[in-house]
Structure formats: structure tokens, C-alpha cells
Amino acid sequence: MTNGPHMSPTEAAQRIGVSRWSIMRAIKSHKLKAKRDNRNHWLITPDDLSAWSAQGAHTVRQQIAAHPNEVTELREKLASETARADAAERARDQAEADRDAWKQQATALLSGPPRTRRWWLW
């Protein structure tokens, strides 16, 4: 790293327009060079940040622009899975309603008039 003004991960994220978590993931995966100071805070040089930023693999927008067919396919898959999940939720709701109706009917049958029972056969 060069001896320039250092910045925190938050400042670096604001400078290039990504989230702090993107910066931290890059640091932890050793894609972005950073060092720690005496207070255990990460320090990033502008040179290292610009080198990492120039790679361009960290932005979602660039990845989406690079693969529009995959995005369309994933959106269609998401729509079909959402419809399937909605159908499963409706089926579950119907099963719960049926269960409650059967439970109510069984409770009504059990709570009917009491039967007298003879213990002796004579």
C-alpha cells in the first residue's frame, strides 16, 4: 500500500457508491487490500480502493447488465415459484378450515344429551 490518506470502510463505500458490507466482504476475501490500525480499525488507501473498484465485479448493476437473459429467466422462475407458494398457502388455509369444521362437528356430537348407562343387566 502507498502512504496516502487512509479511509475507513464506510468512507470508502461512500466514495465509490457501494455498501459498507461490500467493502468488508472484499476485505475479508482479500480482494481489497486493507490494514488495521492500533485501534483495530480497517484502513484503506485510495490507490487500493481505485484498483479494486476498477475490477468492477463488485457492483450488482454491472452483473445484471452483463447477463440480461439470466435475469429474465430468474424473474420468470421467481414468478412461477411465487404462484406455486400462493397455491400451497391457499390449500393449507382450506385444510385448516376443513379441520376446524370437522372438529366443531365432533365436539357437537360428543356434547349431545347424556346417555344413561346401566351397569346391571337385570
Segment 74-96 shows an average pLDDT of 95
* Residue 17: half-sphere exposure toward Cβ, Cα within 13 Å: 6
Cβ atoms of 52 and 26 closer than 8 Å: yes
In the CATH scheme, what architecture does the domain 9-55 have? Orthogonal Bundle (1.10)
Q: What tens digit of pLDDT does each residue of 89-110 get?
A: 999 999 999 999 999 999 888 8
Torsion angle (degrees, nearest 10) of CA 65, 69, 71, 77: 180
For residues 4 and 46, is the Cβ–Cβ distance under 8 A? yes
Ordered DSSP codes for 100-113: HHHHHHHHHHHTSS
**Residues near 19 by beta carbon (within 8 Å), at least 6 away in sequence:** 13
Give me the residue label for grid cell 480502493. 49
Cβ-contact 9, 46 below 8 angstroms? no
Instruction: Confirm whether pTM is higher than 0.85.
Output: no
pLDDT tens by residue, 16-57: 888 899 899 999 999 899 999 999 999 999 999 988 888 865
